[in-house]
Amino acid sequence: MTVLAPPVPESARALLGSVVDYAGLFPPTSATMGDAVAHYAEERAGADRWMLGRFVLPAARLAEFKAVHAPFAGEPGWRLSAVVGDLDAELPGIVAFNAHARGAIVDAMEVKTSSAADVRHLASMRLAGVDVYVEVPLADPEPILRLVSACGFFGKVRTGGVTPDGIPTPAALAQFLAAAVRVGLPFKCTAGLHHPLRGDYRLTYAADAPVGTLFGYLNVLLATAAVRAGWSAGDVEALLVERDGDSVTFGASGVAWRGRVIGNHALEDTRASSLRSFGSCSFREPVDEVGAIVRGR
């Protein structure tokens, strides 16, 4: 089903263009490589492709991807983001893949770190032409974010999980957003942002899955824009916990939340200089659910 085919308001284009990095290989979807590649190829050809970002995959599965992707190798280049588990073991595979790439290129890496030493080690193994997104702990994030920025990397924040204890508090997420903006560090989000607005959702697709209170991706995108606009910490947290779709209006010149407008130029700057994208194991779910909000019901 196509929900956000053009025309859509310019504010939606400014806020949502190429925002969804498709991560269908990861939980809770856990698609096969064949299904994930076929779905991404289908969405690349669909009317909602303007919202589609990179294809996310484990670095350890690049050889498998190359074999499955072969029928699509003649298409315009696929942009891949490789999630690295063991940097020393997996970096050579990324180098080899890019050296012989046909129709696909790893132009981003995602690496989880727990210390400044991890970041410095990563900096010693830099790859030219590859954006590096460094996932950092949420506790007191600013010092390590400054180091990430000084190394020329980008940030990454975990905004959800498959168990309730993996979901950060609004205060912790607001603190990360404020720190990233102060540092001037672009970043991406991962996990939990399948839905546009905050709500209580099952954390996996299993019938007996636990329920958790998840952020929506509009919450996080607009809260980031609000931080950049100098809104108070209280207003930013209020935006992060907003559940009412009627509170958000997409117009020709900006997005309004409860009467306060963030203009298109500010939205574009937010995407370029702060929140670059978010990873989702579904593409259709985030796109289909936001249609009613973007079109004003």
Delimit the domains of the chain by residue range.
10-294
Query: What's the pLDDT at 7?
Result: 77
User: pTM for this one?
Assistant: 0.95
d(C-alpha 12, C-alpha 256), whole Å: 11
pLDDT at 132 over 80: yes
Alpha helices in the chain, H assignment, sequence order: 10-16, 33-44, 62-69, 87-99, 116-123, 142-150, 170-183, 217-228, 233-240, 264-273, 284-294
Quote the mean pLDDT of the chain.
94
Residue 4 has what pLDDT?
67
Indicate the helix (H) or strand (E) that contains 55.
strand 52-58
297 pLDDT above the threshold of 90: no
Residue 12's pLDDT is 96
Q: Does the structure show a pLDDT above 70 at 205? A: yes
- Is it the case that residue 1 has pLDDT exceeding 70? no
Alpha carbon separation from 191 to 26, 29, 83, 221, 269 (Å, rounded): 10, 12, 13, 14, 23
Q: Of 3.20.20, 1.10.10, 3.40.91, 1.20.120, which CATH number belongs to 10-294? A: 3.20.20
pLDDT of residue 178: 98
Q: What is the CA radius of gyration of the chain?
A: 18
Using one digit for the tens of pLDDT, what is the confidence trace for 36-85? 999 999 999 999 999 999 999 999 999 999 999 999 998 889 999 999 99
The reported pLDDT for the residue numbered 75 is 86
pLDDT digits (tens, 9 = 90+) for 71-130: 999 888 999 999 999 999 999 999 999 999 899 999 999 999 989 999 999 999 989 999
Q: Which amino acid, residue 262?
A: I
Q: Residue 295: its pLDDT value, please? A: 85
Measured distance CA(64)–CA(104) in Å, rounded: 13
CA distance 147 to 119: 8
Strands 254-257 and 260-263: antiparallel
Nearest to residue 37, comparing CAs of 228, 297, 287, 283? Answer: 283
